[in-house]
Every structure is written in structure tokens, then in C-alpha cells.
Structure 1
């Protein structure tokens, strides 16, 4: 009798263990599900980079770039022309309210805009469109970022940074494993100097290189930059001084430094 009961007890024990394991697995699966925050469709459509040259009371104008991110954060970059070209950056949160985009800074409203398709019209403190002779100048237009895939062959060849400028035309390529190359139709020869590690302060990277009779100073600043030849933005402004002559332009990072 005892021998006939034993198989049933063993089978029951196995079933209980299986049920417990299944229940545990189901519990873990439910607990491990992370609820992803829902992104408002209107906010998703509004997200992107907007830029414009807006009036300034005590300077030539303010080159303004506003990045609205889908996670409801923003970054604002304002360059005050002919006032030491000061650059002010703000990063905080934003929200949409009845078609208006409101930027906050330290829990206070910093700026507000009315969105109309690809444009943001700045509003006054009462939430109305800015009027007057310069009213139509307070507008930011949606911008596009340069497509880095156009430089994929350069990146594959080891080029870490590429930049260029106009007036006169010039170009620069930085390969941190080899060299820095500077070109221009105005140069008799292509300038190639060995790469030398630069210094970094406040995310601005600077190089000072002397090789033979060649003196080269390079400043790479992470800020939106337009080369004036298209409607796409680059992520860096570039300043180069070669043998006491200044060159300015835009650039993009292809591989990390």
C-alpha cells in the first residue's frame, strides 16, 4: 500500500513545484514591465531645432537657436552680436498650452511662443504676438541638422572632425591618430601637421600647433552654426588661425575625440 501511494506523492510534489515556478515567473514578468512615459503627439510634432536672428535693444541682434526635445526639455542658445558676441545658454523644461509653447527657467516663464507649422512667433508678457515695426522679426523657423552620413567615408577613413568655411573657401580635417589637414584654393600647398592633443575648457576644444614654419591655432566650440550656403545646421563653430590669418566656419564631429 505504501509503495502504491509513493508515486502519487512524488507526482503531486512535482506539480506543486511547477505551479510555484510558473507563478513566480509570472510575478517577475509583471513586476519587470517598465511603463514608458507617453509622449504627447503635439509635443512630438513641435520638437526640433528652431533658429532666427531676433532684435536686440543694445546690440546688432541675437542669433537664437532653440532645441525642443520630445521629453519636454529644451536648450536655448543666444548669441549677442556686437556685444562681445556673448553666448548665453539655458536648459530647462517646456510645455504646450493651447497651441502655445512655454519655456521655463527656475520654475518661472522665460519665453513663450505661438507655433504655426514650422515657425515659432515670440509672444509678449501678456501672451500676445509682439507688435510694432519689428514685430515680424521675432520669429524662429524650424531648422535641419547636417546629415552626417554624407561624411561616412571620411569617418571610416579615421577622420574624427571635419569643418569648412567661406570667404575664402577652406576646409579642415582632424585625425586624432595621425594629423590635422588644412586646405584652401588660396594655399599653394595643402597644410598637414602632426596631431597634437588640445586643451578642453567648458566643452571648447583648442589646439595650438607649431611645425616648422607653420603655426596653427584651432578653436572648436559646441554651438549651432550655419555656413551660409544652405539651410542645414552644424553642431560646432570653427575658428582657425593659420600664420596670423583668421578663418571661421562650421564643423561636425564624426568620431569621438
Structure 2
């Protein structure tokens, strides 16, 4: 008879002492942001990944863009790390083909992928920065599309 109460006590302890532990293998966004790689939070690693911070953008870019009343516009654009530029343009097939030189500063847009040349009026002043090239944007700040789109790309020298 003494064995039955002892047996109930053992079963009771066994049943209530074992807890089912839920293991959630899914990961939510807040857990990812709390994680780190080499002591650096993941949101810090990827937050600044853009053309300004990830590409070797300074240098000399050149190309010939379309022109409404000439054969084309030869462009040479020098971008410097101190955020200054030198822009040389020449209208090919139009008179003496004088080289116009303009200098100034530029800034990056909020996305860090487009530069804006300051002080240029009545001409395109925005360029989308890519790996070893710039894409001249129209005066409204949009990438030119269509059959002439490839003509607005300046290659890095």
C-alpha cells in the first residue's frame, strides 16, 4: 500500500517538472538588427551602402551626348573627393567648336546615388553614379529612357 502513494508522487513530479520548451526558429527584423557581425550592428553595415560610400567615384568621365542642332556634345567631367568638379563641353560640328569650362561644387542626393552640380543653369546638372560610369539625367532629374538612353552615359577614363 505504501508503494501506491509513492508511485503517484513520482508520476506527479515527473509530469509537472518537465516543461515543453518552444523553440522558434523564425527570425524577425528586430532580432536581425540586434545581431552583429564583427562587433558591428547589421543595420550599420548595410545602411550606408550606396554609390557615394561604395564606389570609387572620383576621377575623369567622358562621352558624347546627343545635341539638337549639332553632331553631339563632347563632355569631360572631373569629380574630386573634395566635392568639386570641372565640366568641359564642346559642341561638335558647330562653328569653331569652342571648349566651355565650368567649375564648381557638387552634392549627393539623399539616396547617395546621384550627384548634383551646383551653379549650372539651363543645362543638365544631375548624374546617376554607377560603377565606372555616370548617367546624365534630364533637366527634370530623370534618367533618359528609350533608344537614345545609352548615348547619355559617360565612361570613366
TM-score (norm 2): 0.59
Counterpart-to-counterpart distance in 2, 1:42 and 1:129: 21
Q: CA RMSD in A?
A: 2.4
State whether residues 54 and 62 of structure 1, in contact with CA within 8 Å, keep that contact through their aligned partners in structure 2.
Answer: yes
Give how far 1:127 is off.
2.0
- Please, which of 37, 43, 48 is the counterpart of residue 59 of structure 2? 48
Give how far 1:135 is off.
1.8
Aligned counterpart, 1:208: none
State whether residues 103 and 111 of structure 1, in contact with CA within 8 Å, keep that contact through their aligned partners in structure 2.
Answer: yes
Please give the per-residue CA displacement for 1:163-215, whole angstroms capped at 9, x wherever unaligned: xxxxxxxxxxxxxxxxxxxxxxxxxxxxxxxxxxxxxxxxxxxxxxxxxxxxx
Counterpart-to-counterpart distance in 1, 2:122 and 2:92: 26
How many residues align structurally? 103
Aligned counterpart, 1:60: 71
Change (3 A) 1:93 1:56: same
Q: For structure 2, list consecutive stretches of 5 or more residues without a partner in the other structure.
A: 1-51
Give how far 1:110 is off.
4.9
TM-score (norm 1): 0.37
Please give the per-residue CA displacement for 1:43-98, whole angstroms capped at 9, x wherever unaligned: 98211000001111110011110000111110000011111212111101011122
Change (3 A) 1:115 1:47: same
| Bigger relative contact order (CA 8 A; separation at least 6) | 2
Q: For structure 1, list consecutive stretches of 5 or more residues without a partner in the other structure.
A: 1-40, 144-257
Aligned counterpart, 1:81: 92
Aligned counterpart, 2:133: 119
Secondary structure of 2:142's aligned partner: coil
Q: Does the alignment pair 1:104 with 2:118?
A: yes
State whether residues 71 and 93 of structure 2, in contact with CA within 8 Å, keep that contact through their aligned partners in structure 1.
Answer: yes
- Please, which of 82, 87, 90 is the counterpart of residue 102 of structure 2? 90
Please give the per-residue CA displacement for 1:224-249, whole angstroms capped at 9, x wherever unaligned: xxxxxxxxxxxxxxxxxxxxxxxxxx
**Where does 1:1-257 land on structure 2 (aligned, <5 Å)?**
42=53, 45-84=56-95, 85-97=97-109, 98=111, 99-105=113-119, 110-143=124-157
Secondary structure of 2:125's aligned partner: strand
- Which structure shows the higher strand fraction? 1
